[in-house]
């Protein structure tokens, strides 16, 4: 039997209320990066990153000073920690409370540290967005569910980094998109992509170049269960017919993406091996028109101690 101690159970219907609330909280913190960080290609300046305790913004420049600060979600002690480079810090408790209450507490904490900013006041990439200051609908927080979700993000981020270890081309960081509430990593061919007719500014920037992208969803977006996904943009002809590994992986004609459900990963003999097999098989199929002789490393790095599955 596989050892699932590092790959905990996560059932969307059992934790979706917490997930929806946490999604809004991460959007509030993410909008802080959007307001203050220098722009980077493909919106990489707004994302969050997985840590050994939760999620972080990484350093954010303070307005009107040479200082910086960062914001961490700690899903072990269930705290939101705001640290200022001048020394002071504020610690907020992650607990059941509305988005509106979290928003007020967070903005007050920033102000108490001398960080006076105005952020975009409504969530992005969700149906029927409610302004943060008015959202009393989302008010759940199950510490155990949040902890288990972070454990999956942490293990997944390590696997994604392993996947990138033989990559020589342009690539995104392994990062957390608070808009769509997913962890992702993307490879680029180096070529411009065809223009997308009618695309908004965000989409044009995100898909300005050819990509093959991989990620993990916790069940949001209408899918209904945690899953790994992958897609290519633009998509080569007949990609949906590609042979995939492991056998549980499949292509959705409706969503134009590949999926591997987390439940199948968790029940496999090697969860990390299953994810890597999924990513490698999708990449092989989707990169048929890419110059892999220059994008993939042929000689491995020196030997190192590898993590377990």
In this predicted model, what pLDDT tens digit does every residue of 199-217 receive, in sequence order?
Answer: 787 778 778 899 999 999 9
Q: What is the distance between the alpha carbons of residues 39 and 33, in angstroms, rounded to a whole number?
A: 10
Q: What is the distance between the alpha carbons of residues 125 and 76, in angstroms, rounded to a whole number?
A: 28
- pLDDT given for residue 175 in this prediction: 98
Q: What is the distance between the alpha carbons of residues 249 and 233, in angstroms, rounded to a whole number?
A: 19
Express the helix, strand and coil content of the chain in percent, nearest 5 each: 35, 20, 45
- pLDDT given for residue 301 in this prediction: 74
| pTM of the model as a whole | 0.94
Which regions in the chain score pLDDT beneath 50?
A: 1
Query: In the beta sheet, which residues pair with residue 261?
Result: 227
The beta strands (E) that lie in the chain are given as 49-50, 54-56, 60-61, 68-74, 79-84, 89-93, 175-177, 182-192, 209-217, 227-233, 250-252, 257-261
Q: In the chain, where are the structural domains located?
A: 12-134, 143-295
- pLDDT given for residue 199 in this prediction: 77
- pLDDT given for residue 294 in this prediction: 94
| Unique residue bearing structure tokens 């493909």 | 42
Q: What is the distance between the alpha carbons of residues 175 and 178, in angstroms, rounded to a whole number?
A: 10
């Amino acid at each position: 039997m596989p050892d699932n101690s590092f790959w905990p159970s996560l059932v969307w219907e059992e934790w979706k209320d917490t997930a929806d609330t946490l999604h809004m909280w991460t959007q509030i913190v993410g909008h802080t990066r959007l307001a203050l960080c220098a722009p980077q290609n493909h919106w990489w300046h707004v994302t969050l990153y997985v840590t050994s305790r939760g999620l972080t913004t990484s350093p954010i420049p303070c307005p009107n000073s040479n200082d910086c600060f960062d914001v961490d979600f700690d899903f072990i002690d269930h705290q939101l920690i705001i640290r200022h480079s001048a020394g002071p810090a504020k610690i907020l408790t992650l607990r059941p409370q509305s988005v509106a209450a979290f928003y007020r507490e967070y903005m007050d904490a920033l102000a108490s540290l001398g960080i006076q900013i105005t952020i975009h006041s409504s969530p992005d990439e969700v149906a029927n967005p409610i302004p943060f200051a008015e959202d009393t609908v989302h008010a759940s927080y199950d510490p155990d569910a949040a902890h288990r979700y972070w454990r999956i993000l942490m293990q997944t981020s390590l696997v994604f980094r392993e996947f990138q270890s033989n990559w020589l081309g342009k690539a995104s960081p392994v990062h957390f998109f608070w808009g769509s509430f997913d962890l992702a990593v993307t490879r680029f061919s180096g070529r411009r992509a065809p223009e997308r007719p009618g695309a908004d500014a965000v989409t044009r920037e995100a898909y300005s170049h050819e990509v093959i992208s991989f990620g993990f969803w916790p069940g949001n977006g209408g899918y209904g269960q945690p899953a790994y996904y992958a897609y290519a943009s633009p998509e080569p002809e007949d990609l949906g017919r590609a042979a995939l590994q492991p056998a549980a992986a499949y292509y959705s004609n409706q969503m134009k993406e590949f999926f591997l459900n987390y439940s199948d990963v968790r029940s496999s003999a090697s969860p990390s091996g299953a994810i890597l097999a999924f990513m490698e098989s999708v990449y092989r199929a989707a990169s048929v028109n890419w110059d892999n002789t220059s994008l993939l490393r042929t000689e491995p790095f020196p030997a190192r101690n590898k993590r377990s599955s």
